[in-house]
Amino acid sequence: MKAYEGLKVVDFTQVLAGPISTQMFSLLGADVIKIEAPVKGDQLRTTLSDAEMVAKRLSPAFLTVNLGKRSLAIDLKSEEGRKIVYRLIDDADVVVENFRPGVAKKLGIDYESVKQRKPEIVYCSISGYGQKGPRSGDKAYDSAIQAASGLFTLNGSEESGPMRIGIMVIDMFTGMNAAFAISSALYRREKTGKGQYVDVAMYDSALMLAAAQMADFMVRGNVPPLIGNESPTRQPTAGVFETQDGIVLIATITPAHNIAMLKAAELEHLLDDPRFATFEARQANLREGLEIVGEAMKTKTTADWIKIMSEAGVVVQAVRTLAEATTDPQLQHRGIVVEAENVRGFDKALRLVGAPFIANEDSPQNAVSPPGEVGQHTEEILRELGYDDDDIAKITSPKET
C-alpha cells in the first residue's frame, strides 16, 4: 500500500510549482483531481514546447509534473462549476491552489470558505511572495524570483555579470517545499484531528535554497564574488578544466584533497613552491595556479583523469550532456526515470522524471499512469459524484473560458 492511498487531493494548480507538489501525492497513491479550464487547460500544456506538442496540449514540461492525476474540466466562474468543486471538497483531504492572492476568495474556494464546509481540510496556497504583505500582489515567475531574491548575484562570473540559473529551480523547489508542508499538516491532523492552512511562497523557497550564502552575509556581511565555474574554496586544484577530449569538474575541499589532486596530476613539485605550498598561498595565487593546473589537465583524456583522480580519492566527474546524463545505467538501476505508457497522441512510451527517491516497499515509481488530455476524466469524476447522463451532457458541452 502506497503512503497516500485513499487520500483525495483537489488540485487547482498550474504551471510548475503547484503541479510538482501534487504530483508527489499522486505518485504515492493519492487520487489527485486536477481542475482545469475547459478546452485550454493548464497554461503549461502549451508552453515550453514545439508546435506539435502544443497542438496536443501535452508539452514535455506539463507531462513531467502531472503524472498520475485525473483531469476535470469545469468553469470555476460558473455556479455549476462551484457546486461540483464543493462536492469534490466535501470528500477531499487536501486542497492546493496557486492563484494570485485574492483570486481563490473571489471564486469562493479560499481556505475560510472551504473550512466552513470541511474543518479538517488541509489547504495549501502557493504564490510568489505569500498571501499577505507589501509584495503579496506582485506577479511572479521563476526568473523574477531569482532576480528579487538575490540568486542572480550568486551565479555567473566577473565577465558575464549576474546570471539566472538555467533551470526552473525556484518552481521545482517551491513545489517540493509545498509537498513537505502538506505532508506535515496531514501528520499533524492524524495527531490532533484538526486541519491546517499552509502558505508557501516562491520567495521564501529561494532564500532557503541560498541559506548558506544568506547566512554568511547576514552573520558576517560577506558578499560572495562571482566565481563562475571556479570553486568557492578558491583553490587552483578545484573547478572545471578542459581535457584532451572534454571537460571535467574536480572538487577539493580540504588541504589533504588539494595535495592528493596535485600528486595525481603530477604537479607535486608545486608543493615546494612558496606560491602553492600552503592552503593560504594557493588562495593568494589562484590565477597562476589555475593556469598551471589547467595546462596539465589538457594532457590527458576525460576518461584518463576520471580513473586517475578517482584512484587518488579526489572527487571528479565529466561535464556531460543531457543525452549522456539521461542514459546513465545508474538511472535505470534507480528507476527515477519512469515510462508513461498509453499517452494519447503518442505511439510509444514516454520517458519522464518521477519522484526523486525510492522505497523498499510501494515505491513511488511503481504503476505510474500518464497525464491526461484536458478534461479526460470529467465524465468519470462526475459519475462518482452522482451526476446522471443529462447533467453530464450539460456540464461537458464544448465551451472555452
What average pLDDT score do residues 305-313 get?
96
Average pLDDT along the chain: 92
pLDDT band at residue 399 under the 50/70/90 scheme = low
217 touches 211 (CB < 8 A): no
Max Cα-Cα span within the chain: 88
Share of residues in the chain with pLDDT > 70 (%): 99
Residue 401 has pLDDT above 60, yes or no: no
Give the pLDDT of residue 243.
97
Give the pLDDT of residue 351.
87
Contacts of 143 (CB under 8 A, 6+ apart): 164
pLDDT digits (tens, 9 = 90+) for 208-265: 999 999 999 999 999 888 889 889 889 999 999 999 999 999 999 998 999 999 999 9
Q: Which range has highest mean pLDDT (52-61, 193-202, 326-335)?
A: 193-202
33 touches 11 (CB < 8 A): yes
CA distance to 165, 342, 360, per residue, from 328 (Å)? 24, 25, 22
In b/e form, how buried is each residue of 22-39, taking b as 16+ CB within 10 angstroms?
Answer: bbbbbbbbbbbbbbbbbe
CA atoms within 13 A on the CB side of 278: 4
Compare 388 and 307 and report the one with higher pLDDT. 307
The DSSP-derived string for 90-108 is HT-SEEEE-PPTTHHHHHT
- Grid coordinates given for 294: 589547467
Give the pLDDT of residue 398.
61
Give the pLDDT of residue 287.
93
Give the pLDDT of residue 52.
79
Give the pLDDT of residue 371.
85
379 touches 392 (CB < 8 A): yes
pLDDT digits (tens, 9 = 90+) for 30-64: 999 999 999 899 999 998 788 877 777 888 899 99
CA atoms within 13 A on the CB side of 95: 28
